[in-house]
Structure 1
Amino acid sequence: MGYLYGVRFQMQETELVLALREELYTQNYHSIDWPAQRSYVHEVDLYTPHSMLLEGVYAILDTYEQCAFPPLRRAAVRRSYELVVLEDENTDCQDLGPVNKMMNQIVRMHAEGRESEAYRKHYERRHDFMWLGKEGMMMCGTNGSQLWDIAFMGQALIETGLGEEEEFRDSVVRILKWLDHCQIRENPKHFKSAWPFSMKTQGGPEQSAVDAAKSKLLVVCIAPTLARGFRAGC
């Protein structure tokens, strides 16, 4: 978002854009005082009221935007672009989630063009988040939570003792196989990680890594016979 604002990126007005403005806003789009909306937050969503200090900082930043120092702005835009590229490379263009993923896609298109390899990969990865529901096209908050879900399942099976029963033995072994397969054994390019939130290709470091490690250790330490069966089957 910082990059797009820094370069003042603006989409061309189309019939679709005009129709969306008509549908989403209760007044004429061009009559909206956009700077005022920054502090216009419904009381239900205003967890912490804006302080005078914050409003003062906003005023200073507004003033700076009217006379931004060009070399500093170019350096900031360049650094923002570098961070976008780093995230794309680490997550195979899936990024943290669909919101910043779509912004990253626009950034790469603006900087490298629609024919670039990065834009093509971003375009393909959009389908990881999209699905059709009864209300039409929907968008997931992530490309899934496979690792996190399976880690909790493993913990539940072991801590309740169900994992040691014959009926659930195969499930525990398969959970262990998934955790083993999903573990990131080679450090990504730009940060260290152990397990992702969803799947290995997404690769983003998450709190779920702790739960995955806990689940794997529980199986190995509390149900060693299952762990030996898993290793024998590999």
Structure 2
Amino acid sequence: MWRLKIAEGGADPWLRTKNAHVGRQVWEFDAAADDPDALAAVDAARREFAARRHQLKHSADLPMRIQLAKENPLKLDLPAIKLGENEDVTEEAVSTTLRRALSTFSTLQAHDGHWPGDYGGPMFLMPGLLIMLHVTGALNTVLSSEHQKEIRRYLYNHQNEDGGWGLHIEGPSTMFGSALTYVSLRLLGEGPDSGDGAMEKGRNWILDHGGATYITSWGKFWLAVLGVFDWSGNNPLPPETWMLPYCLPVHPGRMWCHCRMVYLPMCYVYGKRFVGRITPIILELRNELFKVPYSEVDWDSARNLCAKEDLYYPHPLIQDILWATLHKFVEPVMMHWPGNKLREKSLNHVMQHVHYEDENTRYICIGPVNKVLNMLACWIEDPNSEAFKLHIPRIYDYLWVAEDGMKMQGYNGSQLWDTAFAVQAIAATDLIEEFAPTLKLAHDFIKNSQVVDDCPGDLSYWYRHISKGAWPFSTADHGWPISDCTAEGLKASLLLSKISPEIVGESVEVNRLYDAVNCLMSWMGSPLLYSHQNQSGAV
């Protein structure tokens, strides 16, 4: 059965950490586990979710709750409060209800002090991982048969009634979600008629809406990597843009961090025109995804095609002119001498930045999209590289198991964010001493999760911001500084500093609090002020 492991990884020589893996949450399958009651409860939860999947899209983290209920049994001797329609709410009723709620909440706390949980939802994350693992030949090595079984469960569970898949689990069907999820299931061993007709329904949705030529730009990119879409059907992602003077407003270093950290490795893969090995499954997908024979697809027209279900904002004409100019005139120059010399130099420059991001996030990366793209870029650069091997164990930081299956999360978790708010909520009650063990564990986690160093080197060269003293959204190993997480981490720390250390432990050192304030003050100069994702150099 699946078991949630917290703050583990010390035995793996390919894992790097700043704080003994505090906050790390990884699901592992234990074939030898002997807990028939827990297995039966999880199986029942899976069946119930599948039966109601079109009415209730979200899981309730029942595998985790079942596990933690055994590890942290609830010790509660308080009656449930039920008020009549016209009954007054008394202080005793509120106090009893609050005690019951906090008692239950404390049993969900991990031993390192944070509250683990599902941070899934997007449907376009897992396909990138599966395509990357397939083209690098690592799919069956990295993902066991049990991993693949749970991923298939998740993808089938979140298929819409019309046969397609959405951008996210609550969204209507899109070509982006449908084509990539269909491809994912095929790479996981499902046939074109598997799933009691589910695969056929998915394929029909794709073809009824124009076929895969109408997929969005990220979808075109991943299908080109896989070998079921031609690179000439993609609008250019020239790596030379990273060589432009930073003073230019179009320099990618000025982009929002999540945007530029995705397009950074994309530029490398595009510049290399990498295509995975053409195998029988790839040839089958070429036949299944398009309305015309693959050899007859008009790739130049496909560059700007987008299904109406995916079109949130049409391209302005100037953008189409720019893409056409790059595609028809600039790219041919860069593919041949002497332009290919600049292309090679640009690709090397891009990979320097990819490696910097990897090393300074302990190979977690800022998020799941650039995580798998960076990993692919490292493999293209050198399939036997140490960088690729260091990426592998951090894949599991993004995978989460619930009763709906295994998903790829939108981050490696929300550990610090959730813990900071939990502390503030408990501190707002008069039950601090009663829940001292819970607060002390949370306090330890907050202290262990603060970023204590800036990234090395010239931060402006790497388009990064100071991070010493900041708090991340998830873990210290992730390390990207975030403005509102820093504010909430600081607020929680200050609240805890007002409580006796005999109750909640020693306070955060004053100098570290000053460092946090320094980060917050530095972000005040950002045009976006205290937004969640502010300067180009900081999250």
TM range (shorter): 0.7 to 0.9
* Equivalent of 1:200 in 452, 472, 476: 476
Say if 2:357 is the partner of 1:92.
no
Give, as a single letter, the amino acid of the residue that structure 1 aligns with 2:409.
C
Contact kept? 1:169, 1:226, Cα under 8 Å: no
- The structure-2 alpha-carbon separation of the partners of 1:29 and 1:181, relative to structure 1 and needing over 3 Å to count, comes to farther
Contact kept? 1:89, 1:189, Cα under 8 Å: no
* Equivalent of 1:79 in 324, 327, 349: 349
Give, as a single letter, the amino acid of the residue that structure 1 aligns with 2:321.
G
Structure showing the higher helix proportion among its residues = 1
Report the secondary structure of 1:10's partner residue: coil
Q: CA deviation at 1:28?
A: 4.2
Contact kept? 1:182, 1:195, Cα under 8 Å: yes
Q: CA deviation at 1:218?
A: 3.4
Q: CA deviation at 1:228?
A: 6.3
Give, as a single letter, the amino acid of the residue that structure 1 aligns with 2:345.
A
Say if 2:454 is the partner of 1:187.
yes
CA deviation map 1:153-187 (0-9, x unaligned): 223333xx226543333323322211101111122
Q: Which has the larger radius of gyration?
A: 2
Give, as a single letter, the amino acid of the residue that structure 1 aligns with 2:476.
K
Q: CA deviation at 1:7?
A: 1.1
Match of 1:58 in 2: 323
Q: Distance in 2 between matches of 1:19 and 1:140?
A: 29
Give, as a single letter, the amino acid of the residue that structure 1 aligns with 2:373.
M
Q: Distance in 2 between matches of 1:27 and 1:136?
A: 35
Query: What's the TM-score, normalizing by structure 2?
Result: 0.39
What runs of 5+ residues in structure 2 fail to find an aligned partner? Answer: 1-265, 458-463, 509-539
- The structure-2 alpha-carbon separation of the partners of 1:119 and 1:61, relative to structure 1 and needing over 3 Å to count, comes to same
Match of 1:14 in 2: 279
Contact kept? 1:108, 1:119, Cα under 8 Å: yes
Match of 1:5 in 2: 270
Give, as a single letter, the amino acid of the residue that structure 2 aligns with 1:216.
S
Say if 2:489 is the partner of 1:212.
yes
Say if 2:442 is the partner of 1:175.
yes
Q: Distance in 1 between matches of 2:382 and 2:286?
A: 29
Q: Distance in 2 between matches of 1:162 and 1:27?
A: 65
User: Aligned pair count?
Assistant: 228
Say if 2:424 is the partner of 1:155.
yes
Match of 2:215 in 1: none
RMSD value, Cα: 2.8
Q: CA deviation at 1:137?
A: 4.5
Match of 1:124 in 2: 393
Contact kept? 2:417, 2:474, Cα under 8 Å: yes
Of residues 183-192 and 75-84 in structure 1, the stretch that sits farther from structure 2 once superposed is: 183-192
Say if 2:306 is the partner of 1:41.
yes
Report the secondary structure of 1:66's partner residue: helix
- The structure-2 alpha-carbon separation of the partners of 1:74 and 1:152, relative to structure 1 and needing over 3 Å to count, comes to same
- The structure-2 alpha-carbon separation of the partners of 1:13 and 1:166, relative to structure 1 and needing over 3 Å to count, comes to same
Q: CA deviation at 1:42?
A: 4.0
* Equivalent of 1:145 in 414, 438, 441: 414
Contact kept? 1:162, 1:168, Cα under 8 Å: no
Q: Distance in 2 between matches of 1:48 and 1:91?
A: 33
Q: Distance in 2 between matches of 1:225 and 1:181?
A: 19
Give, as a single letter, the amino acid of the residue that structure 1 aligns with 2:314.
P
Q: Distance in 2 between matches of 1:145 and 1:81?
A: 29
Structure with larger RCO (C-alpha < 8 A, sep 6+): 2
Say if 2:430 is the partner of 1:166.
no
Give, as a single letter, the amino acid of the residue that structure 2 aligns with 1:156.
A
Q: Distance in 2 between matches of 1:154 and 1:28?
A: 59
Q: Distance in 2 between matches of 1:38 and 1:205?
A: 36
Q: Distance in 2 between matches of 1:81 and 1:91?
A: 15
Say if 2:504 is the partner of 1:230.
yes
Q: Distance in 1 between matches of 2:354 and 2:495?
A: 37
CA deviation map 1:168-208 (0-9, x unaligned): 33323322211101111122335532222211112222342
